[in-house]
């Protein structure tokens, strides 16, 4: 985890010279701070030293003096790349140095060989050209803006030294649809470089292109893949194990963020088995004080069986207001509720213990079909296309609902344009319902949507900021792009074998705890709704009233508030939207230009 900000200008007389207006990003990289500047380029870099020691100092100049680079992230296969593409006599200790020399020797095409998470700024000093490059899933952030011929870039929005103009259209979509933008931001003059994209800027013109297309990669694999059914599962486990192995590369202490879910537990089991460090693997779990649906007892149980120490962090409702306000500064934009606040405190506590890098089980649901959105749409497709009646019956049984109920929910979800919570507890209606197309593979559609424009995209942004705020780094073994492509190409009957969601992961847990392996995914494992209606109700109302008095959104958004505070409320996300929007606006006034 590192941070950078700066600008590039073709016109030497058209530079932005008030460097004092740059917000510090020291929280992202507390270990080192360096600056590079010439007539066309200025950059500040804040480093968190994870790999490479002094060899990884940035900004870094290539051996041939042509390219300068700043880079936030990790290249997990840098050792393999250096052996195959660079001098075998050179013992590279820094993934940054390997990456820069690969660009210098092979050009941008080498990006296809890289396995990692990254946001890169590559400056060609000879051609006076700059490249902004973001990893395949957008794990590492990269923002940009243009003004007076200058291209500004930063790891966080606050690092761009321009006035922050609110994007009212984005706020409207956020309130109406719960939508977080992919390319735009909540500020009209600042943009988010899309995942798997390269922005090239020179001579006052720019172009953005994609170097990785997930759908095309999956279709290509399906065409050329002649593996037998058993080989699909074996390859899945091989790729997952390899992802865990190469993500252990670090010169800082690494541990595990553990929840009580199948994704997290199965990943911990494999990580323990593959652990190569000279210190013990430990885990960390947070829980909500007095909340009946906590899962920390599951974490304790599994850790005892695996002989892994499990540290537990209590989240108290009294500390939420201060934590939420502090986190808003680091998030820059509205973020995802009480869970994000809890993760922030978890990172604070991990930093105290000296744990700088953590594994997380994020992505398991997306790659192997773990949400109700996956389950219901697969049942819809199997029913209407009259396919695999045996699997259909098993899936209906697993859901615990009758077929009529499932089909009705699925129909509403499809009509909404697949716009709803992953557990389908809330489905947002569009102004005009989407047409239901016969024989359309909606299960396949939701697979891509959750990854490219849904839950995963949002979650990665929230987690990056909550960990970066504490000078920490999170790693996600399930999001290895090779594993992702393979998982999406797997036949549905293997992912849902015997009628269970995430069957390949349940098989891992089964060997350690049979009963745990068949548990269903809980949709209400956050205390947000309970606390918003009780312990935090006054704080919620204070923020909503403050937002009302700001007079920045239409008054219609404040109607029927008693419905949202009803004891029948199952989903409090709308209340959080209003609270968070108020925190967002207060943060702009207090900390932004």
Higher pLDDT, residue 203 or 50: 50
Across 24-134, the runs of DSSP E, i.e. the strands, are: 32-37, 41-47, 60-61, 67-75, 116-124, 129-134
Structural domain boundaries of the chain? 3-212, 215-366+455-517, 370-452, 528-591
Q: What is the pTM of this model?
A: 0.95
Flag whether pLDDT at 403 surpasses 90: yes
pLDDT bracket for residue 358 (50, 70, 90): very high
Flag whether pLDDT at 588 surpasses 80: yes
Flag whether pLDDT at 117 surpasses 70: yes
Q: Tell me, what's the pLDDT at 330? A: 97
Percentage of the chain with pLDDT > 90?
80
CATH of 3-212, one of 3.40.640.10, 1.10.3470.10, 3.40.190.80, 3.60.20.10: 3.60.20.10
Q: Tell me, what's the pLDDT at 20? A: 67
Flag whether pLDDT at 495 surpasses 70: yes
Q: Are 37 and 43 in contact (CB under 8 A)?
A: yes
Q: Tell me, what's the pLDDT at 278? A: 92
Is the dihedral angle over the CA atoms 488, 492, 498, 499 positive or is it negative? Answer: positive
Sequence-distant (6+) residues with CB within 8 A of 375 are 369, 395, 398, 399, 496, 501
Q: Tell me, what's the pLDDT at 320? A: 98
Q: Tell me, what's the pLDDT at 14? A: 57
Q: How far apart are CA 490 and CA 227, in angstroms?
A: 10
Percentage of the chain with pLDDT > 70?
96
Higher pLDDT, residue 502 or 562: 502
Q: What is the mean pLDDT of residues 145-156?
A: 94
Flag whether pLDDT at 578 surpasses 70: yes
Q: How far apart are CA 379 and CA 500, in angstroms?
A: 12
Q: Are 487 and 369 in contact (CB under 8 A)?
A: no
Q: How far apart are CA 8 and CA 27, in angstroms?
A: 24
Residue with tokens 């953005």: 208
CATH of 215-366+455-517, one of 1.10.1740.10, 3.40.50.620, 3.20.20.70, 3.40.190.10: 3.40.50.620
Higher pLDDT, residue 571 or 29: 29
Tokens of 122: 């590559």
Q: Tell me, what's the pLDDT at 565? A: 86
Q: How far apart are CA 425 and CA 571, in angstroms?
A: 7
- Find the range with the poorest average confidence among 138-142, 187-191, 226-230, 565-569: 226-230
Flag whether pLDDT at 61 surpasses 60: yes
Q: Tell me, what's the pLDDT at 560? A: 86
Flag whether pLDDT at 151 surpasses 90: yes
- Find the range with the poorest average confidence among 99-108, 370-379, 562-571: 562-571
- Over residues 269-320, the pLDDT tens digits come to 999 999 999 999 999 999 999 999 999 999 999 999 999 999 999 999 999 9
Q: Tell me, what's the pLDDT at 34? A: 96
Q: What is the 3-state secondary structure (H, E, C) of 546-588?
A: HHHHHCCCCHHHHCCHHHHCCCCCCCCHHHHHHHHHHHHHHHH
Q: What is the mean pLDDT of residues 139-155?
A: 95
Q: Which of 161, 125, 159, 202 is nearest to 29 (CA)?
A: 159
Q: Tell me, what's the pLDDT at 24? A: 93
Q: Tell me, what's the pLDDT at 227? A: 58
Q: Which of 456, 449, 448, 440 is nearest to 218 (CA)?
A: 448
Q: Are 477 and 240 in contact (CB under 8 A)?
A: yes
Q: What is the mean pLDDT of residues 533-550?
A: 96
pLDDT bracket for residue 545 (50, 70, 90): very high
Q: Tell me, what's the pLDDT at 19? A: 65
- Find the range with the poorest average confidence among 218-232, 315-329, 384-398, 577-591: 218-232
pLDDT bracket for residue 11 (50, 70, 90): confident
Flag whether pLDDT at 523 surpasses 70: no
- Over residues 155-164, the pLDDT tens digits come to 999 999 999 9
pLDDT bracket for residue 89 (50, 70, 90): low
Q: How far apart are CA 220 and CA 485, in angstroms?
A: 10
pLDDT bracket for residue 206 (50, 70, 90): very high
- Over residues 436-467, the pLDDT tens digits come to 887 889 999 999 999 998 889 899 999 999 99
Q: Tell me, what's the pLDDT at 153? A: 97
Q: What's the chain's average pLDDT? A: 92
Q: Tell me, what's the pLDDT at 90? A: 73
Q: What is the mean pLDDT of residues 485-489?
A: 95
Flag whether pLDDT at 430 surpasses 80: no
Q: What is the mean pLDDT of residues 253-264?
A: 94
């Amino acid at each position: 985890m590192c941070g950078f900000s700066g600008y590039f200008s073709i016109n030497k007389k058209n530079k932005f010279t008030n460097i004092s207006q740059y917000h510090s990003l020291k929280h992202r990289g507390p270990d080192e701070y360096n600056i590079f500047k010439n007539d066309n380029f200025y950059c500040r870099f804040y480093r968190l030293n994870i790999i490479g020691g002094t060899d990884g100092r940035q900004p870094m100049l290539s051996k041939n003096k042509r390219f300068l680079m700043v880079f936030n992230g990790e290249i997990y296969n840098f050792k393999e790349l250096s052996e195959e593409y660079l001098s075998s006599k050179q013992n590279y200790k820094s993934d940054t140095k390997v990456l820069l020399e690969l660009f210098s020797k092979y050009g941008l095409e080498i990006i296809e060989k890289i396995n990692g998470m990254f946001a890169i700024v590559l400056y060609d000093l000879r051609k006076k050209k700059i490249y902004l490059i973001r990893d395949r899933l957008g794990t590492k952030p990269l923002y940009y803006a243009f003004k007076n011929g200058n291209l500004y870039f930063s790891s966080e929005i606050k690092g761009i030294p321009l006035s922050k103009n609110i994007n009212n259209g984005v706020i409207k979509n956020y309130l109406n649809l719960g939508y977080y933008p992919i390319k735009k931001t909540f500020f009209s003059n600042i943009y988010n470089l899309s995942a798997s994209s390269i922005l090239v800027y020179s001579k006052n013109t720019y172009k953005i292109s994609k170097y990785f297309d997930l759908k095309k990669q999956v279709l290509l694999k399906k065409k050329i893949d002649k593996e037998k059914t058993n080989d699909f599962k074996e390859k899945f486990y091989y790729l997952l194990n390899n992802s865990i192995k190469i993500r252990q590369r670090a010169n800082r202490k690494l541990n595990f963020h553990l929840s009580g879910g199948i994704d997290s537990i199965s990943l911990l089991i494999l990580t323990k088995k593959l652990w190569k460090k000279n210190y013990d693997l430990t885990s960390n779990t947070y829980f909500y004080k007095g909340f009946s649906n906590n899962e920390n007892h599951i974490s304790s149980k599994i850790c005892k069986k695996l002989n892994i120490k499990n540290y537990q962090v209590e989240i108290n409702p009294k500390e939420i207001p201060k934590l939420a306000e502090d986190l808003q500064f680091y998030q820059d934009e509205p973020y995802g509720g009480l869970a994000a606040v809890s993760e922030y405190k978890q990172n604070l506590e991990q930093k105290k213990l000296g744990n700088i890098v953590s594994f997380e089980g994020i992505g398991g649901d997306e790659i192997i079909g773990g949400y109700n959105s996956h389950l219901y749409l697969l049942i819809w497709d199997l029913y209407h296309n009259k396919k695999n009646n045996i699997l259909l019956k098993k899936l209906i049984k697993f859901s615990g609902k009758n077929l009529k109920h499932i089909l009705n929910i699925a129909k509403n979800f499809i009509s909404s344009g697949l716009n709803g919570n992953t557990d389908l507890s809330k489905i947002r209606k569009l102004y005009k319902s989407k047409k239901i197309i016969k024989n359309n593979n909606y299960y396949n559609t939701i697979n891509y949507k959750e990854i490219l424009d849904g839950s995963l995209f949002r979650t990665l942004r929230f987690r990056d900021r909550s960990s970066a705020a504490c000078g920490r780094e999170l790693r996600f073994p399930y999001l290895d792009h090779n594993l992702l492509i393979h998982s999406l190409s797997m036949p549905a009957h293997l992912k849902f074998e015997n009628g269970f969601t995430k069957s390949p992961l349940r098989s891992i847990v089964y060997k350690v705890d049979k009963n745990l392996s068949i548990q269903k995914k809980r949709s209400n494992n956050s205390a947000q709704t309970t606390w918003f209606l009780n312990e935090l109700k006054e704080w919620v109302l204070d923020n909503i009233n403050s937002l009302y008095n700001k007079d920045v959104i239409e008054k219609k958004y404040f109607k029927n508030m008693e419905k949202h505070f009803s004891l029948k409320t199952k989903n409090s996300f709308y209340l959080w939207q209003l609270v968070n929007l108020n925190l967002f606006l207060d943060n702009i006034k207090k900390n932004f230009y």
